[in-house]
Amino acid sequence: MNAHTHRNRDLFPRPMDLAGGRVDLTHGGGGRAMAQLISELFAAAFANPYLAQGNDMAVMPPVSGRLVMSTDGYVVSPIFFPGGDIGSLAVHGTINDVAMSGARPLYLSASFILEEGLPLADLKRVVESMADAAKKAGVLIVTGDTKVVERGKADGMFIVTTGVGSLQHDLDIAGSMIRPGDAIIVSGTIGDHGVALLSKRENLEFETTIESDSAPLHGLVRAMIEAEPDIHCLRDPTRGGLAATLNELAQQSGLGMIIDEEAVPIRQAVRGACELLGIDPLGVANEGKLIAFCPSNKAEALVAVMRDQPFGKNAAIIGHAQPDSRRLVWLRTSFGSERVVEWFNGEQLPRIC
């Protein structure tokens, strides 16, 4: 992304029609139209000195500590939904993946794949939402790319963000570090993002609008590590929800898990919507929640710290890891019975993120 931040009236005689115009193939062609899009939209919104270098790469100062890197593609449909949009989601989601290592997220890259015909007003709204989300989270979008494909060859817009962070401590926070007896903590209510998306997609009306929980979690992670460095694993239960994440971690750690249905925080409205839709809230995506594993004798104190944070208010201990050669995830239901929480083959809802 080459940013020419000084508007050049010889090169770009007219400002772009960001209100009524549409994306066309020239916007991805490497010529003047692309330069103008970068200058008048991306560079204006993401303004920072690294992006302003205007080269095909960004050069930043040395980073101390171990280097952490994560990438995610965002293909969510629709691109605007209650509580967020594809832009804020693309910032939060990648920040969160970097943060789950315990690292401080520093820089993001953003790659846009746009469908010819996309209203420039939609692109502007998404880009400004990304810029706002990045600013609030204290990360910089330092480099990017734009490609345009012909009408019908993509679905509006896809965004891929890649995050880089710095791990300044020696902790090893990973799925493989979970130990038998570790408490399982969730940072808040589950299912909000998936149900918000599905409600919007299916035009369902509930008494209260259910909003996505999309949020950056690195502040919460920092507070947790400062208070209790003996955290074994952090993971954000996105696609496939709590069910997929716990099963994945059971595989990775070689352990079983058991969670208590009554302990899992779920909003009434989300529970109701899931019943109506016939879906299991444990399998629904979250975009602003994490699960944490720590020694059981440290769990209460950690939950107290989490509850003091804006994105941890409803944190709760929901279960623990246990030896199990079959690596099964069990749910103790509110009736006192136990059932296996299945790791579904796919996702109940496609294009949730």
- Within positions 197 to 256, which residues make up the interface with a copy of itself, using CB under 8 A? 235-236, 238-240, 244, 248, 251-252
Residue 48 in the binding site for a copy of itself (CB under 8 A): no
155/211 with CB nearer a copy of itself: 155
In contact, 299 and 185? CB cutoff 8 Å: yes
Dihedral, CA of residue 290, residue 293, residue 295 and residue 298, to nearest 10: 0
| Stretch binding a copy of itself (CB under 8 A), from 14-22, 111-119, 130-138, 189-197 | 111-119
Residue 49 in the binding site for a copy of itself (CB under 8 A): no
In angstroms, the CA 23 to CA 339 distance is 51
| Stretch binding a copy of itself (CB under 8 A), from 72-80, 122-130, 196-204, 332-340 | 72-80
CA-closest candidate to residue 320, choices 294, 290, 281? 294
Residue 13 in the binding site for a copy of itself (CB under 8 A): no
Residue 72 in the binding site for a copy of itself (CB under 8 A): yes
Q: Which of 25, 44, 47, 305 binds a copy of itself (CB under 8 A)?
A: 25
Q: Which of 43, 139, 164, 196 binds a copy of itself (CB under 8 A)?
A: 164
Backbone angles phi, psi at 92, to 5 degrees: -65, -45
8/333 with CB nearer a copy of itself: 8
92/235 with CB nearer a copy of itself: 235
The number of residues that bind a copy of itself (CB under 8 A) is 92
Alpha helix (H) residue ranges in 111-156: 120-137
| Stretch binding a copy of itself (CB under 8 A), from 128-136, 206-214, 305-313, 338-346 | 338-346
Residues 171-190: x where in contact with a copy of itself by CB under 8 A, - otherwise, as a string: ---xxx--------------
Largest CA distance in the chain: 74
Contacts of 93 (CB under 8 A, 6+ apart): 72, 74, 161, 214, 238, 287, 353
| Stretch binding a copy of itself (CB under 8 A), from 148-156, 217-225, 258-266, 294-302 | 148-156
Q: Which of 22, 125, 135, 147 binds a copy of itself (CB under 8 A)?
A: 147
Q: What is 165-213 written as a DSSP string? A: EEE-S----SGGG--TT-EEEE-S--SHHHHHHHHHHTT---SS-----
Residue 286 in the binding site for a copy of itself (CB under 8 A): no
Q: Which of 23, 41, 45, 75 binds a copy of itself (CB under 8 A)?
A: 75
Residues 289-318: x where in contact with a copy of itself by CB under 8 A, - otherwise, as a string: ------------------------------
In whole angstroms, the minimum distance from the beta carbon of 315 to a copy of itself comes to: 20
Q: Can you say whether residue 117 is alpha, beta or left, with left for phi > 0 and alpha for psi between -120 and 50 degrees?
A: left
In angstroms, the CA 57 to CA 71 distance is 17
State both tokens at 322. Answer: 């246990």
CA-closest candidate to residue 44, choices 128, 113, 106, 126? 128
In angstroms, the CA 86 to CA 287 distance is 12
